[in-house]
């Protein structure tokens, strides 16, 4: 009983939210650099706000972030001390291809990640690598319109050829696109997309999504060719929908919301556009342009496992305007009256994780990997940087328990669990430092002040014990 013997316990980060060093080592500028702190950080609306560079009025947290660019050795040592079996990180595309469309990669960027992977191996930590976590070189955004252009597929393919060959033997677990469904909800952050006046926004989004899906299949193909040991996963921003009432219309509304997200995973895991998506696109007049061979490619190179992030369940209804909404601009949904919420209004639902796991496992019958889960909270450190974060321990222990139930009681095949932001980092949704997820506190505030000193929170020792007992002892 319990988790598999080789269960991959660990933590997760993303390059743009922790590395900093935005102009070091020959790195090029990326979409994720030029979004300032604030709820309204993404220029989504046509013609409104277009941020292609820095300005003097705003603070850009990704520039320095928590400066992992210079602290990675110390940080990995702390992960090892907790007993991490895996560490999920992402590659900064513009470190390896500063412009994105070069033929030759930037050696300094490649070497940076190679050193990190070697350091992980030293401690027996298996790297889990997200090839792109929301980032796209700014040059590709400006010159090609990012993923709206088919040419991005080729540039991504170049990146994949380089990294799979270079990191062969060092990295085995790969994720192609972080939260691939985010392209619909936050297109600039998710895929570097922006819209001009007169654009058919839905058309552009689904065309870009198609390019990402093809790129993902190509990545899977190359990964398997270069090293049959490679395991490639898709990555979904998950969280099942509950109908607000038993009214059939509410149930139906939930089904439709889920399909919008499942669409991506259906293609990546089953290898074809699902019937409901084809019908929906036809109804909306969306015509996805495919090239010869695309369909065969998608069919032949499906993913090995399904990874996802889970923070909350969601609620669907036919008349959302009559009901209170949750906070958070990206995945706001109707408020569930039975659930508590975090300080940022994200509703807390451990059983929802078990439900989500069952939904995904029933649908795809492939191993699952939970690659993000956690509580964003305000931490108040004492003079030594120690944080008594019982609220975080409470959140995580309940979620681990629910995931254990999914494994033990329901028979879900789960490869591993990496908590989000195992070390405090910049929030993707708001750009704040104040919204912390870590077991490790980082002395830095929203304005960029602080010593960047790392210190252990109470949850550090808690997680260490959870890992040591393979999830048996969750007590605080
Ligand atoms: P933050 C929204 C909803 C679900 C997942 O989010 C999300 C978002 C983006 O805000 O993104 C993932 O930092 C993402 C991470 C992100 C994390 O969730 O807004 O993969 O990059 O940091 C948590 O609290």
Q: What is the pLDDT of residues 412-466, one digit of tens each?
A: 999 999 999 999 999 999 999 999 999 999 999 999 999 999 999 999 999 999 9
DSSP run (H or E) holding 415? strand 414-420
Give 291 Cα–ligand 1 centroid separation in angstroms.
Answer: 33
Residue 385 has pLDDT above 50, yes or no: yes
Residue 1 has pLDDT above 90, yes or no: no
Residue 327 has pLDDT above 90, yes or no: no
pTM score, two decimals?
0.97
Residue 79 has pLDDT above 70, yes or no: yes
Q: Indicate whether 3 belongs to any domain.
A: no
Q: What is the pLDDT of residue 329?
A: 60
Report the distance separating Cα 287 and Cα 242, nearest Å. Answer: 31
Q: What is the pLDDT of residue 228?
A: 98
Q: What is the pLDDT of residue 253?
A: 95
Residue 358 in 3-state DSSP? helix
Using pLDDT thresholds of 50, 70 and 90, give the confidence band for residue 44.
very low
Could you give the number of structural domains in the chain?
A: 1
Question: What mean pLDDT comes out for the span 210-226?
Answer: 98
Q: With contact defined as beta carbons under 8 Å apart, do 192 and 133 qualify?
A: no
Give 36 Cα–ligand 1 centroid separation in angstroms.
Answer: 16
Give 388 Cα–ligand 1 centroid separation in angstroms.
Answer: 24
Question: Which mutation among 236, 420, 428 tests ligand 1's pocket best, with the greatest number of atoms within 8 A of CB?
Answer: 428
Q: What is the pLDDT of residue 186?
A: 87
Q: Which has the closest alpha carbon to 348: 378, 326, 317?
A: 326
Q: Is the CB of 330 under 6 A from ligand 1?
A: yes
What is the full DSSP assignment across 166-194? HTTTT--EEEEETTTTHHHH-HHHHH---
The parent domain of residue 309 ranges over 8-468
Q: With contact defined as beta carbons under 8 Å apart, do 147 and 208 qualify?
A: yes
Q: Indicate whether 109 belongs to any domain.
A: yes
Q: What is the pLDDT of residue 55?
A: 82
Question: Which mutation among 134, 176, 179 tests ligand 1's pocket best, with the greatest number of atoms within 8 A of CB?
Answer: 179
Q: What is the pLDDT of residue 57?
A: 83
Q: Indicate whether 376 belongs to any domain.
A: yes
Q: Which of 7-11, 186-190, 219-223, 406-410 has the lowest mean pLDDT?
A: 186-190
Q: Indicate whether 299 belongs to any domain.
A: yes
Give 237 Cα–ligand 1 centroid separation in angstroms.
Answer: 9
Q: Indicate whether 388 belongs to any domain.
A: yes
Q: What is the pLDDT of residue 243?
A: 96
Q: Which has the closest alpha carbon to 261: 336, 332, 201, 179?
A: 179
Residue 216 has pLDDT above 60, yes or no: yes
Angle (nearest 5°) at CA 91 between 86 and 92: 150
Count of CA atoms in the C-beta half-sphere (13 A) of 145: 12
Q: Indicate whether 474 belongs to any domain.
A: no
Question: What mean pLDDT comes out for the span 67-87?
Answer: 98
Residue 51 in 3-state DSSP? coil
Catalytic amino acids?
A: 372
Q: Can you name the residues that pair with 126 across neighbouring β-strands?
A: 86
Q: Is the CB of 311 under 6 A from ligand 1?
A: yes
> What is the dihedral angle through the alpha carbons of 260, 219, 134, 309, rounded to the nearest 10 degrees?
60
What is the full DSSP assignment across 190-231? HH-----TT--HHHHHHHHHHHHHHHHHHHHHHHHHH-TT-E
Average pLDDT over the chain reads 95
Q: Which of 2-16, 191-205, 266-280, 316-330 has the lowest mean pLDDT?
A: 316-330
DSSP run (H or E) holding 436? none
Q: Indicate whether 75 belongs to any domain.
A: yes
Q: What is the pLDDT of residue 220?
A: 98
Q: Indicate whether 2 belongs to any domain.
A: no
- Give the CATH number for residue 110: 3.20.20.80
Task: Give the contacts of 378 (CB within 8 A, at least 6 positions apart).
Answer: 343, 434, 435, 436
Q: Can you name the residues that pair with 8 across neighbouring β-strands?
A: 416
Q: What is the pLDDT of residue 42?
A: 67
Q: Is the CB of 429 under 6 A from ligand 1?
A: yes
Give the Å distances, CA to CA, from 459 to 403, 445, 452, 466. 19, 20, 19, 10
Q: Is the CB of 309 under 6 A from ligand 1?
A: yes
Q: What is the pLDDT of residue 328?
A: 65
């Amino acid at each position: 009983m319990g988790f598999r013997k080789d269960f991959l316990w660990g933590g997760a980060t993303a390059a743009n939210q922790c590395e900093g060093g935005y102009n070091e080592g020959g790195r090029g500028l990326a979409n994720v650099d030029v979004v300032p702190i604030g709820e309204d950080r993404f220029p989504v609306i046509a013609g409104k706000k277009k941020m292609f560079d820095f300005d003097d009025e705003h603070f850009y947290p990704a520039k320095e972030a928590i400066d992992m660019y210079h602290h990675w050795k110390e940080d990995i040592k702390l992960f090892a001390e907790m007993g991490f079996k895996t560490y999920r990180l992402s590659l900064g595309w513009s470190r390896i291809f500063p412009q994105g469309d070069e033929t030759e990669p930037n050696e300094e960027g490649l070497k940076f990640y190679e050193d990190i992977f070697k350091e992980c191996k030293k401690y027996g930590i298996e790297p889990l690598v997200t090839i792109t976590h929301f980032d796209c070189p700014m040059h590709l955004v400006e010159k090609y319109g990012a993923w709206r252009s088919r040419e991005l597929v080729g540039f991504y393919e170049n990146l994949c050829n380089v990294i799979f060959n270079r990191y062969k033997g060092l990295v085995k677990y790969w994720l192609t696109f972080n939260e691939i469904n985010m392209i619909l909800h936050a297109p600039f952050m998710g895929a570097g997309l922006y819209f001009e006046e007169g654009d058919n926004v839905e058309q552009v989004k689904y065309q870009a999504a198609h390019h990402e899906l093809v790129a993902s299949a190509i990545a899977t193909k190359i990964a398997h060719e270069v090293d049959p040991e490679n395991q490639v996963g898709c990555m979904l921003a998950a969280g099942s929908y509950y109908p607000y009432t038993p009214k059939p219309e509410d149930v139906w509304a939930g089904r439709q919301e889920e399909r919008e997200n499942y669409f991506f995973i259906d293609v990546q895991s089953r290898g074809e556009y699902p019937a409901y998506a084809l019908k929906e696109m036809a109804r909306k007049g969306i015509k996805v342009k495919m090239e010869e061979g695309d369909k065969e490619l998608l069919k032949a190179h499906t993913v090995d496992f399904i990874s996802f992030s889970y923070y909350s369940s969601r609620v669907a209804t036919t008349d959302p305007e009559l009901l209170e909404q949750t906070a958070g601009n990206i995945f706001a949904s109707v408020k569930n009256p039975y659930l508590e919420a975090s300080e940022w209004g994200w509703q807390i639902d451990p059983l929802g994780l078990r439900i989500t796991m069952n939904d995904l496992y029933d649908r795809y019958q492939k191993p699952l990997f939970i690659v993000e889960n956690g509580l964003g909270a305000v931490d108040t450190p004492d003079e030594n940087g120690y944080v008594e974060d019982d609220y975080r321990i409470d959140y995580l222990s309940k979620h681990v328990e629910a995931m254990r139930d999914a494994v033990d009681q329901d028979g879900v095949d789960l490869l591993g669990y990496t908590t989000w932001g195992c070390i405090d980092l910049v929030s993707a949704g708001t750009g704040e430092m104040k919204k912390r997820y870590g077991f490790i506190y980082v002395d830095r505030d929203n304005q960029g002040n602080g010593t960047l000193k790392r210190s252990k929170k109470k949850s550090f020792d808690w997680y260490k014990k959870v890992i040591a007992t393979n999830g048996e002892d969750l007590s605080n």
